[in-house]
Amino acid sequence: MAFFGLTALGAQNPFESLAKSHAILNIFTLDEFREGWDAVAKGKSEIDISQVEALLHVVYHGPAPEPELILFMNKLDSERTTPISWEEFASCYEELVAKIEADEKSLSGRLGSAATYTSYDELCKAKDKGIKLETGPKETLVAPLTAVQEFGWNAHESVEKRTIHGKKSCAETIYASELYKSGMYF
């Protein structure tokens, strides 16, 4: 179904692929991170913890997804004051990739972390009891999963407050009210 990592039908598990907790760090090679390291370090053998985000920006060709940034910052200890060497960064990358691949193997056949219910029966029971979720799709997904969710996904950004005043009367209603007042229609 997939040819060189591409598939015409989209992700095999959209709940997992769009979950905010889903990491895609393992799609990059260590050589790609080395090229990013060379671009950020500019000939130095070490970088500061503050430059890790810039390194990920180079590798991802844009802002890195939040899960990847959090993974690196937690693994490298974001409170550290000592610089990071390439060897330390490379071993951190390899450990994170091994963890991601192990998580993917354990999740095979199950729904992703963005799914709330594991069966239709659970969903129906929650609906019948009127149980509402604490988090909505915007808190668990990075993008809308369906076309219906696209409508209103960023509504708070584009909605402007304006007051709409309806017509009090038009020519037809004035005519009808005059007919009623004259006693023609009861």
| pTM metric for this prediction | 0.53
What local confidence, expressed as pLDDT, does residue 2 receive?
Answer: 47
* Residue 178 is assigned to a structural domain of this protein: no
Sequence-separated (6 or more) residues with CB below 8 Å from residue 84: 46, 47, 48, 49, 52, 76
Structural domain count, the chain: 1
Whole-number pLDDT of residue 128: 92
Residue 42 lies inside a defined structural domain of this protein: yes
Is residue 33 included in any domain, yes or no?
yes
CATH of the domain at 55: 1.10.238
User: Does residue 180 lie in a domain region?
Assistant: no
What does pLDDT average to in each consecutive run of 10 residues of the chain (186 residues)? 51 65 77 89 86 88 83 80 88 87 64 70 90 80 78 68 73 85 77
Q: Please report whether residue 31 resides in a domain.
A: yes
CA distance linking residue 154 with residue 137, whole number of Å? 12
Instruction: Tell me the residue range of the domain where 54 lies.
Output: 14-107
